[in-house]
Protein backbone atom coordinates (compact mmCIF):
# COMPACT_ATOMS: atom_id res chain seq x y z
CA UNK A 1 0.00 0.00 0.00
CA UNK A 2 2.69 2.55 0.87
CA UNK A 3 4.60 2.01 -2.38
CA UNK A 4 2.20 4.40 -4.11
CA UNK A 5 3.39 7.27 -1.90
CA UNK A 6 6.76 9.01 -2.16
CA UNK A 7 9.12 8.39 0.77
CA UNK A 8 9.40 11.39 3.10
CA UNK A 9 12.70 13.24 3.04
CA UNK A 10 14.89 13.22 6.16
CA UNK A 11 13.82 16.81 6.92
CA UNK A 12 10.14 15.89 6.53
CA UNK A 13 10.57 12.85 8.77
CA UNK A 14 12.54 14.81 11.37
CA UNK A 15 9.73 17.39 11.53
CA UNK A 16 7.19 14.84 12.77
CA UNK A 17 9.04 11.78 14.16
CA UNK A 18 10.78 11.62 17.53
CA UNK A 19 12.92 8.71 18.68
CA UNK A 20 12.28 8.24 22.39
CA UNK A 21 15.85 7.16 23.18
CA UNK A 22 17.19 10.35 21.59
CA UNK A 23 15.25 12.57 24.00
CA UNK A 24 17.23 13.47 27.14
CA UNK A 25 15.90 11.94 30.33
CA UNK A 26 14.25 14.11 32.95
CA UNK A 27 14.07 13.08 36.60
CA UNK A 28 10.59 13.24 38.11
CA UNK A 29 11.61 12.03 41.55
CA UNK A 30 13.76 9.46 43.29
CA UNK A 31 13.84 6.36 41.08
CA UNK A 32 11.58 7.95 38.46
CA UNK A 33 12.94 9.11 35.11
CA UNK A 34 11.11 10.00 31.93
CA UNK A 35 11.61 10.84 28.29
CA UNK A 36 9.20 13.60 27.30
CA UNK A 37 7.66 14.16 23.89
CA UNK A 38 5.73 17.42 23.68
CA UNK A 39 3.03 18.26 21.18
CA UNK A 40 0.87 21.35 20.85
CA UNK A 41 -2.15 19.93 22.68
CA UNK A 42 -0.76 16.96 24.57
CA UNK A 43 2.34 15.65 26.31
CA UNK A 44 3.71 12.10 26.37
CA UNK A 45 5.85 10.97 29.29
CA UNK A 46 7.66 7.62 28.94
CA UNK A 47 8.37 6.85 32.60
CA UNK A 48 10.71 4.25 34.07
CA UNK A 49 10.17 3.57 37.77
CA UNK A 50 12.77 1.66 39.79
CA UNK A 51 11.46 -1.13 42.04
CA UNK A 52 9.58 0.39 45.00
CA UNK A 53 9.91 3.95 43.65
CA UNK A 54 7.11 6.19 44.86
CA UNK A 55 5.68 9.22 43.11
CA UNK A 56 4.54 11.91 45.52
CA UNK A 57 0.85 12.58 45.98
CA UNK A 58 -0.14 15.47 43.70
CA UNK A 59 -2.78 16.84 41.38
CA UNK A 60 -2.80 18.94 38.22
CA UNK A 61 -5.49 20.36 35.98
CA UNK A 62 -4.55 18.09 33.07
CA UNK A 63 -6.52 15.00 32.13
CA UNK A 64 -4.15 12.02 32.19
CA UNK A 65 -4.06 8.45 30.94
CA UNK A 66 -1.52 6.00 32.38
CA UNK A 67 -0.65 2.95 30.25
CA UNK A 68 1.37 0.20 31.95
CA UNK A 69 3.72 -1.63 29.56
CA UNK A 70 6.06 -3.46 31.99
CA UNK A 71 6.06 -4.28 35.69
CA UNK A 72 3.28 -3.60 38.14
CA UNK A 73 2.36 -0.72 40.37
CA UNK A 74 -0.14 0.42 42.93
CA UNK A 75 -1.83 3.61 41.79
CA UNK A 76 -3.65 5.74 44.34
CA UNK A 77 -6.42 7.82 42.83
CA UNK A 78 -8.80 9.99 44.81
CA UNK A 79 -8.13 8.07 48.03
CA UNK A 80 -8.40 4.53 46.59
CA UNK A 81 -5.56 2.12 45.71
CA UNK A 82 -5.65 0.36 42.33
CA UNK A 83 -3.36 -2.54 41.32
CA UNK A 84 -2.14 -2.03 37.73
CA UNK A 85 -0.36 -4.53 35.49
CA UNK A 86 0.86 -4.54 31.87
CA UNK A 87 -1.97 -3.73 29.51
CA UNK A 88 -3.94 -1.72 32.07
CA UNK A 89 -4.91 1.87 31.33
CA UNK A 90 -5.82 4.23 34.18
CA UNK A 91 -7.84 7.37 33.52
CA UNK A 92 -7.07 10.31 35.81
CA UNK A 93 -9.43 13.27 35.58
CA UNK A 94 -7.93 16.70 36.09
CA UNK A 95 -7.51 17.99 39.65
CA UNK A 96 -7.77 14.55 41.33
CA UNK A 97 -5.01 13.70 43.82
CA UNK A 98 -2.97 10.70 42.77
CA UNK A 99 0.30 8.86 43.32
CA UNK A 100 1.95 5.63 42.24
CA UNK A 101 4.37 3.08 43.67
CA UNK A 102 6.23 0.50 41.59
CA UNK A 103 6.18 -2.98 43.06
CA UNK A 104 9.08 -5.48 43.10
CA UNK A 105 10.33 -4.96 39.52
CA UNK A 106 11.14 -1.99 37.31
CA UNK A 107 7.96 -0.51 35.90
CA UNK A 108 7.49 1.26 32.57
CA UNK A 109 4.48 3.41 31.90
CA UNK A 110 3.33 5.86 29.28
CA UNK A 111 1.55 8.92 30.62
CA UNK A 112 -0.54 11.00 28.24
CA UNK A 113 -1.59 14.49 29.31
CA UNK A 114 -3.99 16.95 27.75
CA UNK A 115 -3.75 19.85 27.44
CA UNK A 116 0.00 19.92 26.99
CA UNK A 117 2.00 20.29 30.19
CA UNK A 118 4.00 23.52 29.98
CA UNK A 119 5.95 22.56 33.13
CA UNK A 120 7.16 19.39 31.38
CA UNK A 121 8.10 21.40 28.28
CA UNK A 122 10.28 23.57 30.53
CA UNK A 123 11.91 20.48 32.13
CA UNK A 124 12.66 19.09 28.67
CA UNK A 125 14.14 22.41 27.49
CA UNK A 126 16.40 22.48 30.58
CA UNK A 127 17.52 18.87 29.95
CA UNK A 128 18.30 19.67 26.29
CA UNK A 129 20.26 22.79 27.30
CA UNK A 130 22.27 20.81 29.89
CA UNK A 131 23.08 18.16 27.28
CA UNK A 132 24.74 20.72 24.94
Concatenated DSSP letters for 36-55?
EEE-SS-EEEEEEE-TT-EE
Written as tens digits, the pLDDT of the chain (132 aa) is 889 999 999 999 999 999 999 999 999 999 999 999 999 999 999 999 999 999 999 999 999 999 999 999 999 999 999 999 999 999 999 999 999 999 999 999 999 999 999 999 999 999 999 987
pTM of the predicted protein model: 0.93
CB 73 within 8 A of CB 49: yes
Q: Which CATH entry fits the domain spanning 41-132: 2.40.10.120, 3.40.1350.10, 2.40.160.60, 2.60.120.10?
A: 2.60.120.10
Q: What is the pLDDT of residue 59?
A: 97
Domain boundaries, the chain: 41-132
Amino acid sequence: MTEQYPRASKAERDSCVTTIAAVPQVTLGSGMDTNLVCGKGLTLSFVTMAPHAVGKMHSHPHEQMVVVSEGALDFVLDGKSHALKPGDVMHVAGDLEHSAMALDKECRILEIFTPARKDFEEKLAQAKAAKK
